[in-house]
A and B are shown apart, each in its own frame.
Chain A
Amino acid sequence: MEKSIVQRIWLFYYEGFKSMTIGKTLWAIILIKLFIMFFVLKLFFFKSELSVYSTPEEKSNHVIEQLTSTDN
């Protein structure tokens, strides 16, 4: 029986990953790196300063205040 396109794509990736040698190490490095970046650094250390403001107007006002509050 002929496989569907979805099955063929799945098998393409599945067999590809299965046959990898050094690729497994590389994938492990990629996943660990992405975890550290998105679940440690981004979540706990890199909150956007403007995210405390809920509307674009509030964000604009904050930046305008920052830019114009210097001694000009």
Chain B
Amino acid sequence: MLLASLLGLSRLQFALTAMFHWLFVPLTIGLGFIIAIMETYYVRTGNEFWKRTTKFWMKIFAINFAIGVATGIILEFQFGTNWSNYSWFVGDIFGAPLAIEGIFAFFLESTFFAIMFFGWEKVSKKAHLLSTWLVAIGTILSALWILVANAWMQFPTGMEFNPDTARNEMTDFWAVALSPVAINKFIHTVTNCFVIAAVVVIGISSWYLFKKREDEFSRKSIRIASVFGMVSLVILIWSGDGSAVHVAKKQPMKLAAMEGLYQSTEGTPIVAFAILNPKKKISDMEVDSLAYSLQKPFLVNISIPQGLSLLVDRKMNSFVPGIEDIINGGYKYTDQYGNQQIALPVKERMRRGKLAVNALAAYQMAKEAGDEQSKEYALRALRENYPHFGYGFIEKPSDIVPNVPLTFYAFHIMVILGGFFLLLFGLAIFLDRKGMLTRFKWFHLMAIISIPLVYICTQAGWIVAEVGRQPWTIQDLLTTNASLSGVSSSAVLTTTIMFFVLFSVLLAAELTIMFKVIKKGPAAQ
């Protein structure tokens, strides 16, 4: 109970911090590029209008950056205090990308930030423009290394476990940095940031149009943001498709939870709209299998036949495993090396995981006793069973199922809102082309409402990625509960409350200052 409480609190604290951090980061990344595009117009045309426009959005960028900067460091505090087993276990794989990120963030951003904000009258137009672009590029390079580290947790590769240190050691930097999951995650996340910034620019500009203010500024800002947003969203959707393919191969349970898929068939359908049956529980299969199978997964379900098979395998009749299939194993799948395999039941993986964990203990004992033969034997057992190491910490098969309702609804909210933003950008481009951007109040309201919606969308995406991969901190190798430190739950509760207060104050400060600047408008530049 204590462990469950500590685990729950530690996860709550991490989620709170990460979600708060993610309120600020995407706007900084996306807005940096929109500003750079606007300033490019200024340098190319020499029109002072673009300079004023750039300076206004730069101010919004600065507010967001100032409030959000360093909030991510709190996550690193938590690694050491709440998740010390995890921090040690990931070894230098997390350290190297985060160190590179720190160098980029410090040198590139801080140097060119100063020129961007202080250098308007001090350096040439082109030097200033270069700085603005370098700040924008610096933000995505920083993000790249964080995402590489995150992708490694979802798809561990390019490393070897050292039984002497209990650390995973990087054996192939490029396998880690250029893993297909990392590349896809990077494209998906960065284009997500671009979409957020585009929606924020359209939303704020629409507020001015709603108030019949700043006509030219708003129309031209919307023009740039809508095209930028539309291009980004198309790439975002394309990378989302790639993400689904990777998830299907590397984290099939996450995909099953995203789709509320319990028992599958060949030619697996995809859910277009559904309401989950709240009575459908994942219980331990042996104990409660009858009750389990009697409950239907959905109360309402509209599906597209064979859609999921087509999406993840590009074949109409392929088999995409459901939750129950994954627990029972026995289905054919293609592994990461392209080989056909038969999926192992979770119980078998648990057995092999326990063998691996016990082999690690036996290795240590043999090392202390100086028994080379036993050490060699234990090492062989550890190496053979290491791909299942994390299953050694699983108590029952149903423990490998994430929170299905949360993952399912978060995924579908994300997809529905993605479609909504496609409509928003399309409408903005159409109305701009027809010279009707100022005319329709409903469009202005739609754009203003889109600002909170785009944040809900991105947070939903984060929930899919992180809740959907539970119970793993490192896929198949380390569970969330095995990652915990031995801190007291009251200490975690105290710091969680402190973070909540700190973050609420920061968010209130951000919104207050931002509203003030927006109210004054670009004319104040």
Contacts and interface: CB of A to CB of B under 8 A. Distances in A.
A and B are partners in one complex rather than unrelated chains? yes
B165 interface: yes
B114 A12 contact: yes
A33 to B, nearest CB: 7
B114 A63 contact: no
A66 B70 contact: no
B495 A41 contact: yes
Nearest to B118: A16
B390 to A, nearest CB: 10
- Most chain A CB atoms below 10 A, which of B59, B67, B84: B84
A72 B356 CA distance: 10
B80 A49 contact: yes
Contacts of A70: 357, 392-393, 482
B342 interface: no
Interface string A3-22: 00000000011011101001
B88 interface: yes
Contacts of B286: none
Interface string B138-164: 000000000000000000000000001
Interface stretch (B71-79, B228-236, B449-457): B71-79
A33 B71 CA distance: 9
B517 interface: yes
A56 B118 contact: no
A12 B74 contact: no
Most A CB within 10 A of own CB, among B63, B77, B486, B498: B77
Contacts of B81: 45-49
B88 A60 contact: yes
Contact of A12 (B84, B119, B392, B491): B119
Given A12-B114, A60-B88, A41 B164 contact: no
B346 to A, nearest CB: 16
Interface stretch (B93-101, B210-218, B219-227, B358-366): B358-366
B503 to A, nearest CB: 10
Nearest to B485: A49
B88 A12 contact: no
B74 A33 contact: no
Given A22-B63, A70-B393, A49 B506 contact: no
State which size class the interface on A falls in. Answer: 35 or more
B319 to A, nearest CB: 33
A6 to B, nearest CB: 15
A12 B517 contact: no
A46 to B, nearest CB: 4
A63 B70 CA distance: 29
Which of A12, A13, A17 has the most C-beta atoms of chain B within 10 angstroms of its own C-beta?
Answer: A12
B80 A63 contact: no
Contacts of A37: 70, 73-74, 77
B494 interface: yes
B165 A56 contact: yes
Contact of B361 (A23, A30, A68): A68
A25 B516 CA distance: 13
Contacts of A63: 84-85, 88-89, 166
Interface string B158-186: 00000011110000000000000000000
B117 interface: yes
B67 A60 contact: no
A51 B165 CA distance: 16
B70 A72 contact: no
Contacts of A68: 357-358, 360-361, 364
A45 B486 CA distance: 14
Interface in B216-270: none
Contact of B494 (A15, A29, A42, A45): A45
**Most A-side CB within 10 Å, residue of B63, B66, B73, B487:** B66
A25 B364 CA distance: 56
Contacts of B469: none
A42 B77 contact: yes
B509 interface: yes
B353 to A, nearest CB: 8
A68 B114 CA distance: 51
Contacts of B357: 67-68, 70, 72
B12 interface: no
B87 to A, nearest CB: 8
Contacts of B485: 49
Interface of A: 12-13, 15-17, 19, 22-23, 25-27, 29-30, 33-34, 36-37, 41-42, 45-51, 56, 59-61, 63-64, 66-68, 70, 72
8 contacts: A16-B117, A22-B63, A23-B117, A29-B66, A33-B506, A37-B70, A67-B89, A72-B361
The 6 closest A-B pairs by CB, nearest first: A16-B118, A48-B80, A26-B66, A68-B361, A49-B84, A46-B77
